[in-house]
Amino acid sequence: MTKAELVSKISERTGVEKLTTLAIIESMMNEIKDSISANEAVFLRGFGTFKPKKRAEKTGRNIKKNTTIIIPAHHIPAFKPAKVFVEEVKNNVK
C-alpha cells in the first residue's frame, strides 16, 4: 500500500477531505521522525513503538579495494509491533 492509497482509504472511512488527511499523515510521520531524531520513543498503544536503536561500531570490508573499514556506532530507526498487533496479523493473514 502506498501513501496515496492509505490517504484514500482513511479519507473514505472518516469522510475527511483527502488533502486534510494527507496533511495529518505527513504531520504524524514528521513528528515520529523528529522524536526518533531527538532520541525519544513514540508509543502507540495497540500498534507499536517507534524508537532509535543503537548500532555498535563494527568492522566492514570494501570488496573492491580489499580493505577493512571501521563503521562507527550509529542509531537507526526501529519499530516493535505491539502484542495485539502481532496476534491480529498472525490470525488474519492468509
pLDDT tens sequence across 22-73: 999 999 999 999 999 999 999 999 999 999 999 999 999 988 998 999 999 9
Separation in Å, CA 36 to CA 32, 51, 94: 6, 6, 33
Domain extents in the chain: 3-92
Domain at 3-92, CATH from 3.40.50.300, 4.10.520.10, 3.20.20.70, 1.20.58.100 = 4.10.520.10
All cell numbers assigned to 54: 543503537
- pLDDT-wise least confident of 3-7, 19-23, 59-63, 90-94: 90-94
Q: 61 by DSSP, 3-state: which?
A: strand
User: Given strand 74-81, what is the order of strands in its sheet?
Assistant: 42-44, 48-55, 74-81
**Pairing, β 74-81 against β 48-55:** antiparallel
DSSP annotation string for 11-24:
HHHH---HHHHHHH
Residue with cell 472511512: 13
